[in-house]
Amino acid sequence: MNPSRVPKEESPFSTPDEPVEEAASRRDFLARAGHAAAGLCALFFAAGAVRFAVPDFEEGPPRKFPFGRLADFGMNTLSWLRDRDLFVLRTPAGLGAFSSRCTHLGCTLRRTAEGFVCPCHGARYGALGEIVSGPARRPLPWYSVWLERDGRLWVDLGKPLDTVGPIAIVLPDKVEG
């Protein structure tokens, strides 16, 4: 056969009686749709992976717990509940619990004659956790404290108070022990 008479190879995507531009735009559209579908799939997988890594439950002790009895805390003394990062202060006005962690970057505070100081970046607080100087911007939070019928004091770290300083502890009607 004469090689010149062999018909030119035709693209599988276009036929001669079809305008070329239309075929190109259809191909474009399909390509874009393919890319979009692939991108969407990737996006869904990425979103799923991120959601997968978001913690659904938390370890560690509960945020609401009993921390002792009134008798455990002497008048006008500051106690440190080491394991729960809490200071407990009892005065004639009442009893209160506030955080022993710096509000700047969370280091445990040291006591000084005037109040507290953070060993990490030198933030200083007064005796009631008010800011004196340094990088901390929030005073130490005080938490809701109450007395249960069995005589145990409870604190809820999920409930910071708006007030600063010990609060009067309301005795329940009947305290056992």
Partner 1 sequence: MNVFWSTLLTHLTTLPIHLKRGLHPGVDPETETLALRMRRNFLFHLHPVRVAEHTLKPTATFGLGLMTLTLFLVLALSGVMLMVYYVPTNREAYTSTQDLQYAVTFGSFVRALHRWAAHAMVLTAFLHLLRVAFCGAYFRRELNWTIGLNLILLTFGLAFTGYLLPWDQRSFWAVSVSTNLLDHIPWIGDSLKRFLLGGREVGQAALIRFYALHVAILPGVMLGLGIFHLWRIRKDGGLAREPKAPEDLSTLPAWPHLVFREAILIVVLVTLLCLLATFVPAPLGGAPDIHNPSNLEKTPWYFLWLQEMVSYSAPVGGFIFPGVLLMSLLLLPFLERENQGVGRWFGVPGKRIAVGVSMAISLFFFALFEWIFMKQGVASWLASRPPLVRDLLNPATGMLILAVIHFVAAGILNRSTRTAFLAAGMVVLVAVIGFTLVAWCRGPMWVFFWPWEEWSLAS
Binding region for partner 1 (CB under 8 A): 50, 53-55, 58-60, 82-83, 85, 104-108, 110, 117-122, 131-135, 137
Considering the complex, state which of residue 50 and residue 170 has its C-beta at the smaller distance from partner 1: 50
Question: In the chain, what is the straight-line distance between the N-terminal and C-terminal CA atoms, in Å?
Answer: 114
What is the Cα–Cα distance from 88 to 94, expressed in whole angstroms? Answer: 11
Find the shortest distance in angstroms from Cβ 106 to partner 1. 4
Residue among 94, 60, 71, 78 at smallest CA distance from 169: 94
What is the per-residue burial (b if ≥16 Cβ within 10 Å, else e) of 7-41? eeeeeeeeeeeeeeeeeeeeeeeeeeeeeeeeeee
Considering the complex, state which of residue 94 and residue 134 has its C-beta at the smaller distance from partner 1: 134
**Residues 152 and 140: beta-carbon distance below 8 Å:** no
What is the Cα–Cα distance from 90 to 109, expressed in whole angstroms? Answer: 19
Find the shortest distance in angstroms from Cβ 119 to partner 1. 4
Considering the complex, state which of residue 23 and residue 78 has its C-beta at the smaller distance from partner 1: 78
Find the shortest distance in angstroms from Cβ 51 to partner 1. 10
What is the Cα–Cα distance from 117 to 135, expressed in whole angstroms? Answer: 11
Considering the complex, state which of residue 53 and residue 71 has its C-beta at the smaller distance from partner 1: 53
Find the shortest distance in angstroms from Cβ 59 to partner 1. 6
Considering the complex, state which of residue 10 and residue 59 has its C-beta at the smaller distance from partner 1: 59
Find the shortest distance in angstroms from Cβ 57 to partner 1. 9
Find the shortest distance in angstroms from Cβ 105 to partner 1. 4
Considering the complex, state which of residue 26 and residue 121 has its C-beta at the smaller distance from partner 1: 121
What is the Cα–Cα distance from 12 to 5, expressed in whole angstroms? Answer: 20
| DSSP β-bridge partners for residue 43 | none
